[in-house]
Structure 1
Amino acid sequence: MTHAAASPSRFAHQLAQQYGLDEVPASRSAMPSLDMARMHYPEPHLFVLAPLPAEDAFVVSVELERAGSRRFFHGNAQTHLGLLEPGAVHIADLAERPSAYVCSPFHSVLFRLPRSTMDEFARESGGPAVAQLHCTPGASDPVLAGIAAALLPSLKRPAEACRLFIDHMALALCAHLASTYGGSQGRRPVAAGLAPWQERRAKELLAANLARNVSLAEVAAECGLSRGHFSKAFKATTGRSPHSWLIERRIEAVRGMLLESTASLSEIAVACGFADQSHLTRVFGARTGSSPALWRRQRLRPAAAPAAAAAAGGCATT
């Protein structure tokens, strides 16, 4: 089955409506900072990607699997691509109303980037505005392939996506596109970390909102910094990205509730910022090497053992 999968977004809805694809239902985790979709066409037959409505935006496609030939049409020009390897990239300007003929199965991640998004990134980073994005169609880009792979779980399970992580990846995407395909180097990154008050405020805000999808912009604004500057400064200060630090605090909160409450795993998951029990189990297992249920049993058993032994001893002496 051919389908488009994404966080609920106008772009994913456009793809679903334009090409008659299935769209993932809306979830509680919207990602306004990054408009993306996953397209999968498994049948070896002609598939026509007709032009989307013209707008001042770019679409960047990254191949997830080896794909066959296709032909792109943009403006009065056309580009023919042969065999595409995983990580192959193509960039289209939606103002030119690009279209394509695809004759073989494909599996791609697509990013939609309005020019206004690139302009906002340029202002924050101190670099020049990006007029155009130029790439050799079909060329491999390991960085974009890595970004697409990192975001794939968020596309498959949008309810579990962490806003801080999505925001961070959106900045990384814009930075790479601007420097590699837009000719913009921006300013040299500042190595300094956060001031003590900024670190304290950022941690307080994150810790107080474990169950809420706080945005990178929200935390950065509390520190009086741009998103990019804050993200780098936070890691320079703590040794962790904001997203990684938040996940650690959530796991700490889970441990506390496992030991100190009788709440169910599903209740603990929601209280600590996870989408559901399944999401909690995957993240907890990856961080601790154990499931939450097993971790709880192993730590509660020693406390129960003396009572059990005393009870057994009491019975033996009577």
Structure 2
Amino acid sequence: MLADRISAAIGRGFKIPPPPTLAARIVGSSQIAFSRFRSFESRPGLSTPSAREEAFVLNIPLISARYSLVSIDGRRQSVVQSPGKAYLFDLTSRNEVSLDAIYDSIRFHIPQASIDDAAYERGLPRVGGLHAKYLGQDDPILYGLALAVSPAIADPARTTTAFLEYIALALHDHVVHTYGGLPRGARATGGLAPWQIRRACDFIETNLAGDPSIVALSRECGISASHFARAFRTSFGMTPHQWITKRRVARAKSLMSQSPENLAEISLACGFFDQSHLGRHFLREEGLSPAQWRRRQGFR
């Protein structure tokens, strides 16, 4: 799996325990990986270069980090990484950094194949690589995506596949235009057709106890995952993973009002990880805990 391979490579390269890493599909079997890697101990020496591959890394620091040496194919410089900036590395190059920095970063690993596959599905020209104006350019969008995905990396069991795919699609869309040089054309703004809305809703309701993904939903509707994600938001006023959570809470309310099952069983039946997972989303939607809501319905 991509996530396991990337986690092991970062651990070896930076001489730290393999960091938590997740991967999300954007089309077919093509994936993007998200890692949070950090070290609060300054050490001598350099990182071990990873095996060369046709892929790119975007490093998004969450804290300031001072590296006395960053070497890219022998070109050496010192770098202070700052939150809000993006640091692009081409993995066909030999990349080394000093291990004297204290750092905490989100790392996006983007294979060239995933860039090509997603561009092809969207009818875009092939992106022949990613390029930054300089090492460490301002990128508030990537910083926002890094902050958004950080809780998912920390607690993957409570993260839906649809959420990770939505982040991956947003990342791909931003990267191919900002670093791949593709001009932004007129973007389709229409929503899903009525039959696609019915198909998507039916699929979500049937699979609420599981983990319905954007890739599977887009396949049901006969369109690309990126097109589906945009059109769904236009039609529903929210992202697919937000709608899935909303429908899970609605199903929990129906079961709580009609069934004597305990809240732990109801949570699992609705696709939540456990009772506390249901409770957190239920409180956000209803302003009450599940137990409080159930008592108001006349259940003890």
C-alpha displacement of 1:24 = 6.5
For 1:13, the equivalent position in structure 2 comes to 8
For 2:229, the equivalent position in structure 1 comes to 231
Question: Is the 1:38–1:108 Cα contact (8 Å) retained in structure 2?
Answer: yes
C-alpha displacement of 1:194 = 1.4
Matched, 1:103 2:124: no
Question: Is the 1:122–1:186 Cα contact (8 Å) retained in structure 2?
Answer: no
For 1:92, the equivalent position in structure 2 comes to 89
Matched, 1:127 2:136: no
Give the whole-Å Cα distance in 1 for the aligned partners of 2:68 and 2:213. Answer: 38
Give the whole-Å Cα distance in 2 for the aligned partners of 1:24 and 1:77. Answer: 28
Instruction: Tell which deviates more after alignment, 205-214 or 182-191.
Output: 182-191
Structure 2 residue matching 1:300: 3-state secondary structure: coil
Give the whole-Å Cα distance in 2 for the aligned partners of 1:31 and 1:172. Answer: 12
C-alpha displacement of 1:25 = 8.0
For 1:39, the equivalent position in structure 2 comes to 37
Instruction: Tell which deviates more after alignment, 220-229 or 272-281.
Output: 272-281
Structure 1 residue matching 2:129: 3-state secondary structure: coil
Give the whole-Å Cα distance in 2 for the aligned partners of 1:131 and 1:122. Answer: 11
Query: For residues 215-271 of structure 1, what are the alpha-carbon distances to aligned partners after superposition, in whole Å with 9 as ceiling and x for unaligned?
Result: 211111111101111111112222222111111101101111222222222222211
C-alpha displacement of 1:47 = 6.1
Question: Is the 1:257–1:268 Cα contact (8 Å) retained in structure 2?
Answer: yes
Question: Is the 2:152–2:159 Cα contact (8 Å) retained in structure 1?
Answer: yes
For 1:197, the equivalent position in structure 2 comes to 195
- 1:293/1:123 Cα in 2 relative to 1: closer, same or farther (>3 Å)? same
Give the whole-Å Cα distance in 2 for the aligned partners of 1:31 and 1:183. Answer: 24
Give the whole-Å Cα distance in 2 for the aligned partners of 1:242 and 1:230. Answer: 9
Larger radius of gyration: 1
Q: 2:199 is aligned with what amino acid?
A: R
C-alpha displacement of 1:290 = 2.4
C-alpha displacement of 1:199 = 0.9
For 1:219, the equivalent position in structure 2 comes to 217
Q: 1:103 is aligned with what amino acid?
A: D
C-alpha displacement of 1:175 = 0.9
Give the whole-Å Cα distance in 2 for the aligned partners of 1:25 and 1:143. Answer: 22
Aligned mate of 1:52, from 50, 53, 68: 50
Query: For residues 128-168 of structure 1, what are the alpha-carbon distances to aligned partners after superposition, in whole Å with 9 as ceiling and x for unaligned?
Result: 22222122212231100100111011100011111111111
For 1:289, the equivalent position in structure 2 comes to 287
Give the whole-Å Cα distance in 2 for the aligned partners of 1:269 and 1:280. Answer: 6
- 1:262/1:154 Cα in 2 relative to 1: closer, same or farther (>3 Å)? same
Deviation >6 Å, runs of 4+: none
For 2:28, the equivalent position in structure 1 comes to none
- 1:265/1:70 Cα in 2 relative to 1: closer, same or farther (>3 Å)? farther
* Structure 2 residues not aligned, in runs of 5+: 26-30
Instruction: Tell which deviates more after alignment, 242-251 or 41-50.
Output: 41-50
- 1:232/1:201 Cα in 2 relative to 1: closer, same or farther (>3 Å)? same
For 1:311, the equivalent position in structure 2 comes to none
Instruction: Tell which deviates more after alignment, 216-225 or 232-241.
Output: 232-241
Instruction: Tell which deviates more after alignment, 242-251 or 279-288.
Output: 279-288
Give the whole-Å Cα distance in 1 for the aligned partners of 2:67 and 2:222. Answer: 49
Instruction: Tell which deviates more after alignment, 232-241 or 12-21.
Output: 12-21
Structure 1 residue matching 2:182: 3-state secondary structure: coil
Question: Is the 1:46–1:104 Cα contact (8 Å) retained in structure 2?
Answer: no
Question: Is the 2:68–2:98 Cα contact (8 Å) retained in structure 1?
Answer: yes
CA RMSD of aligned residues (A): 2.2
The aligned length equals 293
For 1:309, the equivalent position in structure 2 comes to none
C-alpha displacement of 1:96 = 1.1
Question: Is the 2:23–2:34 Cα contact (8 Å) retained in structure 1?
Answer: no
Question: Is the 1:11–1:36 Cα contact (8 Å) retained in structure 2?
Answer: no
Q: 1:273 is aligned with what amino acid?
A: G
C-alpha displacement of 1:64 = 1.0
Query: For residues 290-311 of structure 1, what are the alpha-carbon distances to aligned partners after superposition, in whole Å with 9 as ceiling and x for unaligned?
Result: 222222223326xx7xxxxxxx
Question: What is the TM-score when the length of structure 1 is the normalising length?
Answer: 0.85
Structure 2 residue matching 1:39: 3-state secondary structure: strand
Instruction: Tell which deviates more after alignment, 246-255 or 60-69.
Output: 60-69
Give the whole-Å Cα distance in 1 for the aligned partners of 2:149 and 2:191. Answer: 27
For 1:272, the equivalent position in structure 2 comes to 270
Matched, 1:168 2:162: no
Give the whole-Å Cα distance in 2 for the aligned partners of 1:204 and 1:62. Answer: 38
